[in-house]
């Protein structure tokens, strides 16, 4: 499972090679917003989904978990450090923004879903 929103929180799946090691579950009480953002590259770029979390929430496992603030600044200067650590690429699966909004409204109506850029053309 790459990503799941349900009644207890959000699952951020790990990559194929280290799925169990990098999979993180974030309960709703630790989430302040869901964020979809784009990593700009010289090619097409890559969409990500992540969670803003309350201050003091435990660190999450994941592919970026060992990244320093300086490395994060070089990688994605437009994204907050903690968000980058709590994000996963949207690759090999498709995010349907309207379904994400419905799920979030159903399970956590006070949690906003933010789109940092227009990512999904109409």
Q: Which pLDDT value is given to residue 110?
A: 96
Per-residue model confidence as pLDDT tens digits over 47-69: 999 999 999 999 898 888 889 99
Q: Where are the domains of the chain?
A: 3-115
Three-class secondary structure of residue 99 per DSSP: helix
Q: Which pLDDT value is given to residue 121?
A: 43
Q: How confident is the model at residue 117 (pLDDT cuts 50, 70, 90)?
A: low
- In angstroms, the CA 80 to CA 3 distance is 21
User: What does the chain come to in residues?
Assistant: 122
Q: Which pLDDT value is given to residue 64?
A: 85
Handedness of CA 20, 59, 30, 69 (dihedral sign): negative
Q: How confident is the model at residue 122 (pLDDT cuts 50, 70, 90)?
A: very low
Q: Quick one: tokens of 119? A: 């990512």
Per-residue model confidence as pLDDT tens digits over 1-48: 889 999 999 999 887 777 787 899 999 999 999 999 988 777 778 899
Per-residue model confidence as pLDDT tens digits over 74-102: 988 888 999 999 999 898 889 999 999 99
């Amino acid at each position: 499972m790459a990503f799941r929103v349900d009644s207890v929180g959000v699952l951020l799946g790990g990559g194929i090679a280290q799925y169990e090691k990098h999979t993180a579950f974030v309960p709703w009480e630790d989430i302040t917003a869901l964020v979809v953002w784009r990593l700009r590259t010289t090619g097409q770029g890559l969409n990500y989904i992540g969670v803003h979390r309350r201050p003091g929430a435990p660190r999450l496992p994941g592919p970026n978990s060992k990244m320093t603030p300086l490395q994060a600044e070089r990688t994605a200067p437009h994204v907050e450090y903690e968000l980058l650590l709590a994000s996963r690429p949207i690759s090999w699966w498709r995010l349907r923004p309207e379904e994400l909004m419905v799920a979030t409204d159903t399970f956590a109506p006070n949690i906003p879903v933010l789109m940092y850029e227009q990512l999904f053309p109409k």
